[in-house]
Amino acid sequence: MSGRGTYRDLEIAMVRGSRTDPGIEMARLLRALRDQAGISVREMERRSRDRRGGNGRVVPGLSKTTVSALIHQEKPTWPTREQFDAFVDTCLTHARAHGRNLPTHLGDEKGLGRRYAELSTRRARQAGRPPAAASPAPVPRQLPPAIGGFVGRSREMAELTALLSAEDARPPSVVIAAVSGSPGVGKTALALHWAHLVRDAFPDGSLYVNLRGGDRDALAPEDVLEGFLRALNVAKDGIPPLLDDRARLYRSVLDKRRTLVVLDNAASVQQVRPLLPASPGSMAIVTSRTRLTGLIVQEGAHPLPVDLLPAAEAHELLRQVVGADRTAAEPEAVAEITRMCACLPLALRIAAERIAIHPHDGLADLAAELGVEHERLGVLETEDVSVRTAFALSYQDLPEEAAHLFRLLALHPGPDISTRAAEALAGLGPAQTRRRLDRLTQAHLLEETGKGRYRFHDLLRCYAREVLAEERERAAEAAEEHRRAEDRLIAWYAHSAAAVSRMLAPSPSAYQPVPAPPPAGCRPERFAGHADALRWCDAERANLVAATRRAAESGGNEAWQIPTTLMFACYLGAYVVADWMALLEPALPAVRRAGEPNAEGVILFSLGLVHWQAHRFDESVACFQEAAGLWRSTGYRWGEGSALHKLAETYALQQRFEEAERLFRKVLATAEELGERWGRGNVLVSLGNLCKSAGRTEEAIAYLNEALTTYRDTRPDLVGNGAALIGLGDVHRSLGRHDRAIDYYRQALTSSHEGGSRGDEVRTLYHLGESLFHAGQAEEAYRVLSEAMAVFDELGDPRADAARDLIDKICAGHGPPPADGGGP
């Protein structure tokens, strides 16, 4: 048959009406197609071998016998749909491979498919039976198994369920949840666990893909769409080649369907956007190590950040994998393992696996291995999963400027870092630093804990230190760069602390150490007032301790300069006893090596205050005496007077009233000689308190009123004013005049709070609670005393026990304590 005749036969076969037998029409159609394609029966057998059908099942090839039977002109065999598809596909593939230009109708695979359906229907009618119903297309159920031993995440699960439940209350739209978090935090586990729980809410199926966002070979959205469309029963030849066309077809197929789409481990919004369903009733869950901000802003996705597990849930995860008996037997080891795994689910699962496969090892053995920080990440890996690898995938995706800051942050010695401190560490301006910090938080390699404050969790800190060390090994100049960065950071803390001292110093005569000029790129903090300076001290408390220790390790003067400049902040109660002592421990040997006697006096004076606050009065006496002697030897009279003043106050607390009064009068004379009205006011308050303790109440009131006048005649001193008001309240409380005492205490609270003296504020709260109790205001007394007790506990102050005892009396309904006002 000529080519022209073959095409004519095919054309006739495709348009011929119902007069011809459908079987003969089918045979003519197939014979014409084979002839036009120019393929032999033998070649058809070879090419069609083990072809896959549309449902993914392997279809046996077309044998020579089968092909001959299908195209027999008189008694042809009717082809199954799979045989027909194999025949057409083999012919068209051969034609394309040999450059044969087929006529339009012949090359239209869809048209041939429609013709098969028409002939099948006509054949069934002629046989007197209804056409066979097509098998229902399988509903895609692509979710991988949920991760076993899932614990916690009740908040996140509730949020996802609420999104689904609230669907009817919103304008018609697809629901999108953007689940983000650091590497290994359990984003996939959460998404799959919830998806399996709600799968019945999506009768049209569930689609899943791991987009491999952390890999170099992240999936292209057009490839994902091809897989999704095939799963949704779109024939391969019906899938267009271009991304936009595939996305439109995908949305069309999902239209009016209720489908769950899980897009796991997404690299970017651009990768995700074409894969989102558009039909109301469907839902997409996207997990990513980045925040996917564009998805939230433009597509209205609901942000669902996933954090580290709470400690209790981390313990439960270990218990489920390891077993209740083993975890119950070693609770301390469980707590240590949890802490050193940073409550990161991936790390906990690896640790649990190590425990489970070594039944004869104790949990304490693993805790000891994890305790070696530079080996910790090596412990937390198996043959196929590793915490280090999880972090590395995110780190390698960073632009170099952000990766550089990530490495430098490993130099920071404290638990968190402010934006301003990060600027000093990097030697960059605010805008540049903020961009880099934002990039790290978006990648969940750094956590923003509050306004302008950031932190690593412990395992990320280990990883940052590893890559920092690797940089030093690769580049000789890196070590010098790291040293300069650390110098800028420690200098920033020292100069910012010096700014605190200048703000809080009660007198121009107070000793002020002057650090070396700050290096380039170090811009210390500036403070608007007392409260601002004290807030900074509170926020940076642990970092200042860490910076002091780091300076001591390197032999820097900041080891004694930082504690010296923070003395006034500590005195005002900005630091708890333990932190204040931690500041001072490395400072004393450092200042003695530096040969700075005035600064040494400040350190000794501060140590005396710490002991005084902890009611270790003998140690206080020794420190104040040594400080006074040092300052006397240098001629620093203001300092000597301050030390003698606190020494006298300590004597008074030890009921050594005569020695105390003698010293007070000596200090008063020195203050008047130096023209120090602030110092004069302080001594008058102390004399008033001494007279009150000795039962000389009229003298006490006179001294305290004179102190108030002195403070008001000089520059405003809220702290001194508050101390005088506290003293007046104490006197009236001791006389049983509780209404008067309450009035003074309330005034003192205002002054102490506005002046930033946390110590005076909490002392006032305690005595106000006492007077309220005496005055019959038990409910208010309970509230005030509870507040005082909490602060005393936080500060490590023994007076917490006295507050607790009085609260117990209130709760027990006992009468008021004796009217002599005994107590702290």
In terms of domains, do 488 and 530 share one? yes
SS3 71: coil
Residues 258, 172 within the same domain: yes
287 and 366 in a single domain? The answer is no
Alpha helix stretches (DSSP H) within 585-634: 587-594, 597-613, 617-634
546 inside domain: yes
Q: What predicted TM-score, i.e. pTM, was given to this entire model? A: 0.73
Q: What is the CATH number of the domain that holds 426?
A: 1.10.10.10
Task: Assess whether pLDDT exceeds 50 at residue 457.
Answer: yes
Which is nearest to 551 in space by CA: 601, 494, 484, 596?
A: 494
Q: Among 214, 203, 349, 196, which Cα is nearest to 285's?
A: 196
d(CA 721, CA 355): 62
Same domain, residue pair 727 and 780: yes
Domain assignment present for residue 235? The answer is yes
One-letter identity of residue 280: P
Q: Is residue 260 part of a domain?
A: yes
Residue 138 maps to a domain: no
Q: Which of 743, 711, 709 is nearest to 729 (CA)?
A: 743
**Torsional sign, CA 568, 572, 575, 578:** positive
The number of angstroms, rounded, from the C-alpha of 194 to the middle of its chain's C-alpha atoms is 22
Range from 8-12, 374-378, 577-581, 804-808 that averages highest in pLDDT: 374-378
Q: Is the same domain home to 159 and 298?
A: yes
Instruction: Give dist(CA 790, CA 804) in Å, integer.
Output: 10
Coil, strand, or helix at residue 733? Answer: helix
Instruction: Answer yes or no: do 161 and 296 share one domain.
Output: yes
Number of structural domains in the chain: 6
> What is the H or E stretch that residue 175 is in?
strand 175-181
Which pLDDT band, with edges at 50, 70 and 90, does 7 fall under?
very low
User: Going edge to edge, which strands form the sheet with 453-455?
Assistant: 417-418, 453-455, 447-450
Is residue 208 in some structural domain? yes
Please give the pLDDT value at position 820: 46
Higher pLDDT, 334 or 166: 334
Please give the pLDDT value at position 639.
92
Helix 697-713 and helix 718-734: axis angle, to 10°?
Answer: 160
* pLDDT the model gives residue 364: 92
Statement: residue 277 has pLDDT above 90: yes
**Average pLDDT of span 200-222:** 88
How would residue 613 be classed by pLDDT, with cut points 50, 70 and 90? confident
Average pLDDT, the chain: 86
Q: Which of these three, 474, 497, 515, is where a domain ends? A: 474
- Domain end position, chosen among 519, 551, 585: 585
Give the mean model confidence (pLDDT) for residues 152-158. Answer: 91
Question: What CATH number is given to the structural domain containing 790?
Answer: 1.25.40.10
User: Could you tell me the pLDDT band of residue 685, with boundaries at 50, 70 and 90?
Assistant: very high
Domain presence at residue 451: yes
Q: Does the residue 615 lie in any domain? A: no
My answer on whether 488 and 440 are in the same domain is no
Cβ contact 667:683 at 8 Å: yes
Tell me, letter by letter, the H, E, C secondary structure of 292-307.
CHHHHHHCCCEEEEEC
Clarify whether residues 512 and 462 are in a common domain: no
Strand partners, 180: 288, 305
Is 490 found in the same domain as 372? no
pLDDT at residue 200, as a whole number: 87
> What angle do the packed helices 345-357 and 331-340 form, to 10 degrees?
140
Domain that holds residue 797: 717-812
Residues 487 and 358 in one domain: no
Whose CA is closest to 688, among 674, 699, 675?
699
Asked whether the predicted pLDDT for residue 19 surpasses 80, the reply is no
| CA separation, residue 578 to residues 413, 567, 583, 618, 678 (Å) | 18, 14, 9, 19, 29
Contact 207, 259 (CB under 8 A): yes
555 versus 55: the higher-pLDDT residue is 555
Residue 328 lies in a domain: yes
Tell me the pLDDT tens digit for each residue of 361-383: 889 999 999 999 888 999 898 88
DSSP string for 307-374: -PPPHHHHHHHHHHHH-HHHHHH-HHHHHHHHHHTTT-HHHHHHHHHHHHH-TTS-HHHHHHHHTSGG
Tell whether the model's pLDDT for residue 402 goes beyond 90.
Answer: yes
> Which position has the higher pLDDT, 713 or 618?
618
Residues 158 and 301 in one domain: yes
User: What pLDDT does residue 819 have?
Assistant: 45
Token pair for residue 174? 């697809």
Quote the pLDDT of residue 5: 40
Domain co-membership, 331 together with 352: yes
pLDDT at 127: 66
pLDDT band per the 50, 70, 90 thresholds, residue 137: low
Given 450, 474, 498, which residue is the final one in a domain? 474
Average pLDDT for 147-169? 83
